[in-house]
Structure 1
Amino acid sequence: MNELDERIVHVLAEDARRSYADIGTEVGLSAPAVKRRVDRLRAEGAITGFTVRVDPAALGWQTEGFVEMYCRSNTAPGDIRRALSHYPEVASASTVTGDADAVVQVFASDMRHFERVLERIAGEPFVERTKSVLVLSPLLRRYSAGPPG
């Protein structure tokens, strides 16, 4: 991916509904040239899809928290992923460095709902313990593909 491709990806990451003509104006290409590059980036797997970002609160998910998972020593990341994929409240999960084995982002309708999800996660057979923190106010959320070119 060259610098021009990166600029196109950045524009799409900010607003994937922008037209090829609009993107072209911003990066200095014609609409057909932008389309060709986007098609190539999709074919190469650099762009994996287009999506919509929805405010979780608009869907009734008022409570957000992060759960650190501490697992038994023989737990594979795939086992964690398979278990967490069954929770609609889990927005993201990652293995991490440090004491915890994974960090899980959870959205819930309220505190009681968050507590129930936390109890279910803690009850997974490979989980030894959990530690959670609740988000008071999100300060910064970025959805871009990196710094603009």
Structure 2
Amino acid sequence: MDAIDEAIIRCVLRNARATYAQIGKAAGLSAPAAKRRLDRLVATGAIRGFTAVVDPQALAWHTEAFLEVYCTGNPTPAELRQALEDIPEVVEAWTVSGAADAVVHMLARDIPHLEQAVQRVRATAPVGRTESVIVLSRLLIRPGM
């Protein structure tokens, strides 16, 4: 990975829909050269995909919770990620040290919606049980961290 690759990654992080011309301009390359470099970054796994970032407020998802996830067996982080990635209410997940195997950050429309999403998490193969904490208010947010 060199400075050009890093410039390409910064560009697509800012805008995953950037054109090859825009990516090339950001990295000092022609559009065809930017495409080749971007394709290589995807092929090597440095870039795993492109996504849309949805504002939860636009969905009117105002109920927020954290789940401690306790797994059965010994699933790998990749297996746990695969189990959680199709649950749209799961916005972030981490493996952690301590008694829990993972912590999951969830957003939902309301408590019934949250309860349904928690049930879907509990129904995944590696999850044995969860413990939930509902967020009452956000006290501090540091964007970009």
> Which residue number in structure 2 is paired with residue 58 of structure 1?
58
Distance (whole Å) between structure 1 residues aligned to residue 35 and residue 22 of structure 2: 11
Q: Displacement of 1:42 after TM fit? A: 1.8
**Is the 1:67–1:132 contact (alpha carbons within 8 Å) kept by the matching residues of 2?**
yes
> Which residue number in structure 1 is paired with residue 38 of structure 2?
38
Give the residue type in structure 1 aligned to 2:131: T
Coordinate RMSD, CA, aligned = 3.1
1:101-149 Cα distance to aligned partner (Å, 9 max, x none): 110111111134334544675688722x514241634723449xxxxxx
> Which residue number in structure 2 is paired with residue 111 of structure 1?
111
Structure with more relative contact order (C-alpha pairs < 8 Å, separation 6 or more):
1
**Is the 2:87–2:120 contact (alpha carbons within 8 Å) kept by the matching residues of 1?**
no
- Label 1:101 to 1:25 Cα distance change in 2 as closer, same or farther (>3 A): same
Distance (whole Å) between structure 1 residues aligned to residue 106 and residue 38 of structure 2: 33
**Is the 1:69–1:100 contact (alpha carbons within 8 Å) kept by the matching residues of 2?**
yes
1:50-103 Cα distance to aligned partner (Å, 9 max, x none): 22111122123222221122456x453477556645644223333211332110
Paired residues, number: 141
Q: Report 1:44-83 matches (<5 A).
A: 44-71=44-71, 74-77=73-76, 80=80
User: What TM-score do you get using the length of structure 1 for normalisation?
Assistant: 0.71
User: What residue ranges of structure 1 are gaps of 5+ in the alignment?
Assistant: 144-149
> Which residue number in structure 1 is paired with residue 99 of structure 2?
99
> Which residue number in structure 1 is paired with residue 90 of structure 2?
90
Give the residue type in structure 2 aligned to 1:37: R
Percent identity at matched positions? 43
Give the residue type in structure 1 aligned to 2:69: M
